[in-house]
Amino acid sequence: MALRVENLDVTLGGVAVVRSASLLIGAGEIACLLGRNGSGKTSLLRGILGLVPARGRVVLDGVEVNRFPPDRRWRQGFRYVPQGRRLFPKLSVEENLQLGGCRGEGEVWPSKILALFPQLTERRSQLAGTLSGGEQQAVSIARAMFEPGQAYVLDEPSEGLMPGARASLREALEHVRRSGASVLMAEQDVRFALAVSGHAYVLEQGKVCYDDGAEALRKDRSTLKRVLGLGSRYVG
């Protein structure tokens, strides 16, 4: 179920925002995508998913999906958690999850939702628009993750989450990793990203400037400071 991206270019409004990006996320691997605001992280994710025009190759489990529209990429096995949650506010939590293919039988929800996001159980009939920001993010993540996929693409998944919800997110990511899927996660929280990932990529002005293990980056104070702007007090 490996996800391979080769020499991907994304140009928006005549500006090259991603340039010759190449990534390889193996089956059962979590990789984080780091970079300062405006470095091109979201554009790269959207290019992989076919949500913006892109040139280059995207290969999922041996199938080249470059020419596939977004809906066909979903059928091929891509799952997406966009930044900003993007729920249907006037639908209940349960209805939002069902739109992601997360369907229980009668009154019984899939046990994995209850185990990984127990806070959603008591909110199942509540309108999504009335949830807290962290609860909405949990719904967005659950909606994507519990329809089995081959590659999970997440944009700032920890944004707005309290510590308990972050622990649930970490457990959910590990659950997906153990299933054999590939996970690519753009994150601003460098500590969280490096703690849950096995591999790290760093974007600088649209180009991949770092491609190595997450543990190696955690110890690379020069890159952390120069590219990500983290001070000397950073502790991985």
Q: Around 174, how many Cα atoms within 13 Å sit in the side-chain half-sphere? A: 9
- In the predicted structure, residue 236 carries a pLDDT above the cut 60: no
Amino acid letter, 135: E
Of 3.40.50.300, 3.40.50.1580, 3.40.1710.10, 3.90.1170.50, the CATH number of 3-84+147-226 is 3.40.50.300
- Residue that wins the pLDDT comparison between 1 and 55: 55
- Residue 66: strand, helix, or coil: coil
User: Exposed, middle or buried by CB within 10 Å (0-12, 13-18, 19+), for 158?
Assistant: buried
Residue listed under structure tokens 């179920």: 1
Question: What confidence score (pLDDT) does residue 111 get?
Answer: 64
As to burial, measured by CB atoms within 10 angstroms (0-12 exposed, 13-18 middle, 19+ buried), residue 106 is: exposed
Q: Express each pLDDT in 86-102 by its tens digit.
A: 889 999 988 888 876 65
Q: In the 8-state DSSP scheme, what is residue 226? A: H
Q: What is the pTM of this model?
A: 0.87
On the 0-12 / 13-18 / 19+ scale of CB atoms within 10 A, 111 is exposed
Instruction: Give every CB contact of residue 135 below 8 A, 6+ residues apart in sequence.
Output: 119, 120, 123, 165
pLDDT digit string, tens, across residues 50-60: 999 999 999 99
pLDDT tens per residue, range 173-231: 888 899 899 999 999 999 999 999 999 999 999 999 999 999 999 998 888 888 788 76
**Ranges of each domain in the chain:** 3-84+147-226
